[in-house]
Chains A and B, each alone.
Chain A
């Protein structure tokens, strides 16, 4: 379906199609939701077991103090960068093809942060004292350690979660008003409260636009800083192969990469489950794939330059870890990562692949697997061959860690699906704008002086006020 047909979509049909997604999804929706809920309950059981027994049941040990929990944390935080990229950066660069897909990307951002935030918590030895990380006033006037990257993490994640939730919500207000006008029962009450009396007046739109662009300007540097801080968890340490200056940009590029891959996955899924074929077109998939390819190349460059700088630094410890990565016990993780994240994206160079929905779906899963392996090979192999040869040990994550990892995927998907069922996952007003612009571009007759009309409306409203 080409975008040239998109201009023929009636505005009422946009409302109808999107509102229908809140009502009657395909059967697959309920099946996936059920599976996810089951996975989450498994994860909760595993966590209860681990909480009662101690972290040893996760098969972490010395020197593997960190393992899958931390790599999952990095993975999910990385995933959350896609939404910011699609909404904020593409909004500021005025790429209008983002419009039908940015809403779910933003929701993805929020829910992957909520998933990521679980990991540093359950990974603590004494979970019940986790609030000690925050600088809250207390009678003993004890402060947390402001030099610790983990403290920066806590600050960055809470900031990022709050702002991306706000960004998602603010961008949704006009659509919530549409929902309000069409809903009944509890939904009516919910949307009435959330749409905050949105009437669609020109002044409202102006204020809304300003707020939205401002939020976008705030979110872009924030997203970059968040993943740089996650990178400093590693870069600030003195562990060989963690202590790498290029880690912050490398992590940010990796985050955008896996985030884009996740967007493609959900793109195809939503398109199928909620019958959004008319909005999520092949053209948009093509552009998303191109973007992903570009980011993949940036990530590859940084990855290879990391290897090169380690190799030429000739540092005894770092070189040892690098060699162990490629030829040691964790070698298949590294080679798997290179295969999935370095070689596989080249498939997107072909138009045929970019235009095949399910082809892109499977490819995006491969890319995500590659990026997940990447996070594992950042955390584990350096610990396995650290400064102290006597402690060298190879440990693979145990059943508890794997269960909780699976559960995190379930948790994320569950939240996401529930969101799509309750809130419009395609932005109705932005799609209308897009259709309008396409129409204008093809006919050039209707409403050419929109600005004039807008100015008149503003003046009229100011007079009334």
Chain B
């Protein structure tokens, strides 16, 4: 943006809720009760977003590029059944699964630290990453509390064996070495849906469910719900309201039987992804 425009609108930029009147605010809700940890979302993400598969060695040394990952956690054993499971041959049975991807924070800690402003907030609530602008200082990766930013430590995409490069998604770029990348909420699909809606004549409204993110589309148990948080009729908005999670709060005061929470929301980063806590019967 030009210096002139910046100086003219200086006070506007400092206003809170600058994008209040925007018709879109993309959000997600993930039901951990439904998640079975199958990893279909991860695979779909690889296919949709041109993520490089790095191989066993690079994966082990922490250079993997999965924008979405299934994290496994085990609770401290509560009952007999828990202990049995933990010590059994298949402890995954007792694991909690959390699909973790960029939480598209509204107070994203990655944004202010980027020296070249390669990561910024779009008016529709996405935490955008401009690959062409990124110089790879990796400060954003450090400052991300979820550690969901992925750095191209090598030029992975030059090593795609021959026919496989034809399966790359033409809707988005292939990143080169030295660039940070992360989940975009499938921004290419969002933009396509916006364009389609504009062609049909409504600029401010996309029908809820008219498009899906890749992870949502592939989830066999429909644990992932994605949509517009500014649209009162959308499934994700209703889910957020039902579970009493509000966007602009760092602590939700809710009764015990309500499952909605956001990961690390006490850091006041205002993530746009709500998780629904898993309920377990430890006696069974």
Asked if B153 contacts A130 (CB within 8 A), the reply is no
Q: Tell me, yes or no, whether B3 is within 8 Å of chain A by CB.
A: yes
Query: CB-CB < 8 A to B19: which residues of A?
Result: none
Q: Which of A65, A125, A142 contacts B142 (CB 8 A)?
A: A65
Asked if A147 contacts B109 (CB within 8 A), the reply is no
Asked if B178 contacts A54 (CB within 8 A), the reply is yes
Of the listed residues B58, B133, B147, the one surrounded by the most CB atoms of chain A closer than 10 A to its CB is: B147
Of the listed residues A62, A147, A390, the one surrounded by the most CB atoms of chain B closer than 10 A to its CB is: A62
Query: CB-CB < 8 A to A238: which residues of B?
Result: 109, 143, 145, 267, 269
Of the listed residues B3, B69, B138, B154, the one surrounded by the most CB atoms of chain A closer than 10 A to its CB is: B138
Query: What residue of chain B has the Cβ atom nearest to residue A63's Cβ?
Result: B147
Q: Tell me, yes or no, whether A222 is within 8 Å of chain B by CB.
A: no
Q: Mark B16-29, 1 if CB is under 8 A from A, else 0.
A: 00000000000000
Q: Interface stretch among A8-16, A148-156, A246-254, A297-305?
A: A148-156
Q: Interface stretch among A191-199, A331-339, A380-388?
A: A380-388
Interface size on B, residues (CB 8 A): 48
Chain A, range 92-139, C-beta contacts under 8 Å to B: 120, 123-127, 129-130, 132-133
Known contacts A125-B178, A150-B115: A388-B147 contact under CB 8 Å: yes
Asked if A145 contacts B145 (CB within 8 A), the reply is no
Interface size class on chain A is: 35 or more
Q: Tell me, yes or no, whether A445 is within 8 Å of chain B by CB.
A: no
Asked if A395 contacts B62 (CB within 8 A), the reply is yes
Query: CB-CB < 8 A to A383: which residues of B?
Result: 142
Asked if A65 contacts B151 (CB within 8 A), the reply is yes
Asked if A236 contacts B113 (CB within 8 A), the reply is yes
Q: Tell me, yes or no, whether A170 is within 8 Å of chain B by CB.
A: no
Asked if B264 contacts A387 (CB within 8 A), the reply is yes
Q: Which of A66, A126, A133 contacts B115 (CB 8 A)?
A: A133
Q: Give the docked Cα–Cα distance between A151 and B152 (Å).
A: 22
Of the listed residues A56, A130, A389, A391, the one surrounded by the most CB atoms of chain B closer than 10 A to its CB is: A56
Q: Which of B69, B109, B115, B147 contacts A151 (CB 8 A)?
A: B115
Chain B, range 261-277, C-beta contacts under 8 Å to A: 264, 267, 269
Query: CB-CB < 8 A to B196: which residues of A?
Result: none
Chain A, range 358-406, C-beta contacts under 8 Å to B: 383, 386-391, 393, 395
Majority secondary structure of chain B interface residues (helix, strand, loop or mixed): loop
Q: Tell me, yes or no, whether A81 is within 8 Å of chain B by CB.
A: no
Query: CB-CB < 8 A to A154: which residues of B?
Result: 115
Q: Mark A403-415, 1 if CB is under 8 A from B, else 0.
A: 0000000000000
Q: Give the docked Cα–Cα distance between A64 and B151 (Å).
A: 11
Query: CB-CB < 8 A to B6: which residues of A?
Result: 143
Q: Tell me, yes or no, whether B172 is within 8 Å of chain A by CB.
A: no
Asked if B143 contacts A237 (CB within 8 A), the reply is yes
Query: CB-CB < 8 A to B133: which residues of A?
Result: 132, 142
Query: CB-CB < 8 A to A63: which residues of B?
Result: 62, 141-142, 147
Q: Tell me, yes or no, whether A443 is within 8 Å of chain B by CB.
A: no
Asked if B116 contacts A132 (CB within 8 A), the reply is yes
Q: Which of B64, B114, B117, B152 contacts A125 (CB 8 A)?
A: B152
Q: Tell me, yes or no, whether B155 is within 8 Å of chain A by CB.
A: yes
Asked if A124 contacts B178 (CB within 8 A), the reply is yes
Q: Tell me, yes or no, whether B150 is within 8 Å of chain A by CB.
A: yes
Asked if A144 contacts B116 (CB within 8 A), the reply is yes
Q: Tell me, yes or no, whether A6 is within 8 Å of chain B by CB.
A: no
Known contacts A143-B117, A237-B143, A387-B145: A125-B137 contact under CB 8 Å: yes
Query: CB-CB < 8 A to A442: which residues of B?
Result: none
Asked if B117 contacts A144 (CB within 8 A), the reply is yes
Q: Tell me, yes or no, whether A55 is within 8 Å of chain B by CB.
A: yes
Asked if B137 contacts A150 (CB within 8 A), the reply is yes
Closest 9 CB pairs of A and B: A125-B136, A125-B178, A61-B62, A56-B153, A150-B115, A65-B138, A145-B117, A54-B154, A387-B145
- A residues neighboring B (CB under 8 Å): 53-56, 59-66, 120, 123-127, 129-130, 132-133, 141-145, 147-151, 154, 233, 236-239, 383, 386-391, 393, 395
